[in-house]
Structure 1
Amino acid sequence: MKSLFENQLVEFENSASELKTEAYKDSLTNLPNRTRFVEEFEQEIGQPDKHNQFGVLLLLRATELQHINQSKGYQSGDKYVKGISDILVSVVGTYSNAKLYRLNGSDFGMILPNITAKEADTMAQNIHSRLNEYMRISELSAVGSMGIVTYGHGKPLGELLASADTAISLAQTKHVNAWHVHKDNNLGQTSATTFGNQNWRAVIDDVISNGNVTLLFQPIKAANRGTKAYSEVLSRFKSDDAQVLPTASFLAMAEKLNRVVEIDQLIVEKVLELIKTKSITDQFFGINVTPASVHNDQFMIWLERKLLKEASIATKLVFEVSEFGLQQNINSSRRFINMIHRAGARVTVEKFGVGITSFKFFQELKPDFIKLDGSYTRNIEDEKNNQYFIRMIVDLSHRIGVNVLAECVETQEEKHVLEKLFVDGCQGYYLGNTWTVIGHSALLLLLNNSKALTKSHPKHKPVVF
């Protein structure tokens, strides 16, 4: 009995150890995750009595992840993240006791004990060179930005992460795949944040004043001829030295610095100008609008005047607003949608299904489309619960005259299942894997025939004019 009990105890301990290992590991990269990062940092570095500990914390942000997921699909996004992981693993292996973690979807963290800021700068140069090579091979416009901060004397982890995040913001205003080393004796956290904000404000002002925006298009393929579909417009921003800025960071900083409304105005003007100068009034275009603009009275007045002035073009526009953004203020959302309809344009509620919204809400707002969040589309052929949910949404939406679109469609199986569920249109890498880039003096090529384009561009290279 004693022997049996001891054997069972060993099995339980081994099982618990295996479960703990799995809980602390990122499934894609097999790196330790954020939970493990926090635990090990607090145990080995963050204690007040660890005065002899010093070193460097490096954060790398995969700035292109969101764009790759949207334009090329989640499988390409996973490949991109794995590529960055491989680069960092090869670098961290050359430093004694260094550890690498995947903190979240786009952030990697690296702890390097007993090295100075000068040594970290040399290491960042090494990573920068490898990222540039990876960018060239993978045909990307950027890979990631790095923020580096020194630690010691039991400094709280929260302060270190905030400093590293500020350093990333500063790096993103420099050049592609850049890094910035934040030193305690150089700038305090408050002044560093201010400095970073000033840099970003200058970059945003330059984009607005010079109109440094490139438009990209991806089609939504209608499930049947009776359904109207459109091409979604996404924007890429460039600095004054023609460096592509990370879109997610740029928009986040524009919102933080209260400039996002002006960015939305710039994009609308660019789309209107493009349609007018290229005489492409036989196509429909979807423009993303941030919640801040939807709930801004001045933007609403400005947009209504623009649409009324360009009445023939307004009928070709669809304004996409997130479900969460509309929920923030029902009254202003209703006014915005009513104004859009008066001007002859249409509205899509995107990222649908993430929040909790009643259909009474949509009956009152009367959008023209809802676009299901991509999380419902992935592997839909194996997700029976998601199939039931989408079928219910389609039935209810059609009853109130709303068309249902699905995004992030990446495989033939997903498209087939969604069509069987009577979704009105699909968008994603499988249907339109080639983005069309429209420059200032470019000609327009819309992706009207995605299948033909796929055959003519088997390597899925972006078409640039």
Structure 2
Amino acid sequence: MGLSKSFQLVLFIVFGLLTYRTYTIENNEVQDQGEVALANYLQYVQTIDQWHGSGEALYQRMSKAFSFQFFQYINNTDSNDNFTHGSLLRPADDFASKIFNVELGHVQNFTDGRLQVRLDTTSVLSPSFNDLEQTATLLISAYVALMLLFTVLMQVHRRRINYAAEYITHIPDLSFLAIEQSRFPGVLHPIGKALEICRSQLKLSLDRIHKENDQLTKTAYQDPVSGFSTRQRFAQHIESITKSKTQQYGVLVVVRAAELATINQLFGRTAGDDYLGKLATCIRKSVSNLGLSYCFRISSGDFVIFIDRITLNEGEQFLEQLKCYLDEYAQSTKSDSVAHAGMVPYQQGSEPVALMTLADTAVSVAQTLGPNHYYQMEKLSGNEQSGNDHWKVTIDDLINRRSIKFFQQPIQPCNSDTQIYRELLARFYNSEGKNLPTTTVIAMAERYDMSIELDKMIVTQTIKLLTENPTITGKVGINISAPSALQDNFTMWLKDILSKHRAIAARLVFEINESGMQTNLESSHQFVTQIHKVGAKIAIERFGLGFTSFKFFREVQPDFIKLDSSYSQNIEQNNNNKFFVRMIVDIAKRIGILVIATGVEKQEEKFILEKLLVDGLQGYYIAKPEVLLIKQ
């Protein structure tokens, strides 16, 4: 039962009890007055001890002193003296008699007759009935007034509660208007105060949550190395251009840090991150004086810049400025190249795949032009494949001219009984003597089925290097692509040329990527078998990334496995990597395979890997790559 109904019930009971109490008092008063009136009558009737007259005469005599409701005299002998007045039944309109039940009747026997009377109760009832009526009127009026006042107060109270309830229901809408304290006076004041405190605290909490959410969003969608937006933001942005209904145009620039893999290999991952950060600074400085621009890092070494509302011709200013900054950076670090850029125009409705393909082609052309070069390509010019064709010509040219340089990076054995080798790292340059990005050269060679010719050139130049430079001693490792190793004609060619240089063959270790070798275990086993016949060794590099079955060990039987550098990175903190390396070392030792850890850049990593009993260590902390000059 609610407060309102409870209060009404209590008020009704209280006023009912008061009315009942008033009635009880008045009823007792009526009974007392009735007894007095009856006593007076009895005293008076005793003065008439004997009566020998008519009943009417008796009535006339007694009515002077009393009022009778009923009077009846019955003579015992003479009925002519009988007299009756009034009625024993009370009048129907006598409401007072119904309220107060008082009996004022008496029977008196005389010598000649019998007298029965009932006194009129009006004089007895009227005062008490009037008092009861007045009191009841006051009580009912007070009750009605209180009920009306309570109803009004409840309406006001209900409006205040409704205001509080409505305010609370709007909190999920993040509506934080100030509380009207005037609506919560008296006992409701704590509610208003509590709501105001709740409002303030919720607002502070939501502001803090929004701030933290913005920070998390920024962290999630901002590349920590460059400070640019991530690939997810790039996808959203290019999709908005594709679906835009309003006119948009501008240029899209792809900047490729093609030297990232080389820098990571030569100088370590920290140097690679520093290189990307400074490249991002060059990009940021170049766009600072242009219109609205958006910068993204969409992969490890690729950046994308959207510059709104400029044409391809106007965009050349940005490319020139960018090249100046890149040249300055290259000069300060004494490096040959920093990055290459390709620019294409875009407009609303541009197809993302076609646009990025065109931009990638433009970058490919720029890479063949030399260090820090750029290239602009018109959309729908009909030359979308010219960049790739240009690469085909460039690779064919460097193979014919044997445009290759070698770096060397030693591998440190973990004990004196283990015979390890030094790795030769191939670097390529174009007809103008400018370096070409190694990763791109190899990727383009595989795309155009030129990897076999490129690998043949690498092998012949390595044999030439070792033949003409007797001071280079010990085993050396060279990289060849998996697509070449899996081709029977290349395997036969390699076996034939190594057979003619047995002494050199015994010093060679061919490094092949694990993921490529696993595509065809039968061909991989055939390659390893044929190379072993001429005395050369096989090393599987980047081991562990695509490894799905230890069947690879049993089927291929390489001489070395080079763990991917990700297993060395912070291995002192990564128990999963420790477990994996320990398991690989245990299995490899059982079947006579040497395990080499790569990407070792810290002393802590070196100590942990030595404790895990790897056979060799390679990385920036062990030794930096050095240039090897080929004797002409």
**TM value normalised by structure 2:** 0.67
**1:24 maps to 2:221:** yes
Partner-residue secondary structure (3-state), 1:142: coil
Q: Which deviates further from its counterpart, 406-415 or 272-281?
A: 272-281
Asked if the contact 1:92/1:100 (under 8 Å) is kept, the reply is: no
**1:49 maps to 2:245:** yes
**1:374 maps to 2:571:** no
Which residue matches 1:444?
A: none
The match for 1:85 among 280, 284, 306 is 280
Deviation of 1:175 after TM superposition, in Å, equals 2.1
Deviation of 1:280 after TM superposition, in Å, equals 4.4
Q: Deviations over 1:318-347 (max 9, x none)?
A: 111111111010110000000111111111
Partner-residue secondary structure (3-state), 1:328: coil
Asked if the contact 1:218/1:436 (under 8 Å) is kept, the reply is: no
Counterpart AA for 1:149: V
Counterpart AA for 1:71: L
Q: How does 1:144-223 map to 2 (within 5 A)?
A: 144-184=339-379, 187-188=381-382, 191-193=383-385, 195-223=386-414
Deviation of 1:38 after TM superposition, in Å, equals 1.9
Quick one: percent identity of the two aligned structures? 37
Partner-residue secondary structure (3-state), 1:233: strand
Which residue matches 1:38?
A: 235
**1:345 maps to 2:540:** no
Could you tell me how far apart the structure 2 residues matched to 1:381 and 1:207 are?
43
| Gap runs ≥5 in structure 1 | 442-465
Q: Deviations over 1:377-435 (max 9, x none)?
A: 11112212211211111111111111100111112121111111111100111111141
Q: Deviations over 1:159-197 (max 9, x none)?
A: 211111010011111121111111126x23xx321x222
The match for 1:139 among 334, 345, 359 is 334
Could you tell me how far apart the structure 1 residues matched to 2:437 and 2:206 are?
52
Could you tell me how far apart the structure 2 residues matched to 1:14 and 1:360 are?
52
Q: Which deviates further from its counterpart, 17-26 or 314-323?
A: 17-26
Asked if the contact 2:521/2:555 (under 8 Å) is kept, the reply is: no
The match for 1:119 among 314, 331, 341 is 314
Give the superposed CA RMSD. Answer: 1.6
Could you tell me how far apart the structure 1 residues matched to 2:234 and 2:457 are?
41
Q: Which deviates further from its counterpart, 87-96 or 208-217?
A: 87-96
Deviation of 1:72 after TM superposition, in Å, equals 0.9
Could you tell me how far apart the structure 2 residues matched to 1:426 and 1:436 are?
20
Could you tell me how far apart the structure 2 residues matched to 1:198 and 1:12 are?
53
* Count of residues in correspondence between the two structures: 435
Q: How does 1:186-265 map to 2 (within 5 A)?
A: 187-188=381-382, 191-193=383-385, 195-265=386-456
Could you tell me how far apart the structure 2 residues matched to 1:334 and 1:439 are?
33
Counterpart AA for 2:470: S
Q: Deviations over 1:434-462 (max 9, x none)?
A: 41232344xxxxxxxxxxxxxxxxxxxxx
| Gap runs ≥5 in structure 2 | 1-167, 172-194
Which residue matches 1:288?
A: 479
**1:385 maps to 2:576:** yes
**1:300 maps to 2:300:** no
Q: 1:216 to 1:434 in 2, by over 3 A?
A: closer
Partner-residue secondary structure (3-state), 2:243: coil
Could you tell me how far apart the structure 1 residues matched to 2:487 and 2:284 are?
46
Q: Which deviates further from its counterpart, 63-72 or 156-165?
A: 156-165
Which residue matches 2:16?
A: none
Partner-residue secondary structure (3-state), 2:289: coil
Deviation of 1:16 after TM superposition, in Å, equals 3.6
Deviation of 1:311 after TM superposition, in Å, equals 0.8
Asked if the contact 1:281/1:316 (under 8 Å) is kept, the reply is: no
Could you tell me how far apart the structure 2 residues matched to 1:49 and 1:92 are?
26
The match for 1:75 among 246, 254, 270 is 270
In proportion to residue count, which structure has more helix?
2
Partner-residue secondary structure (3-state), 2:435: coil
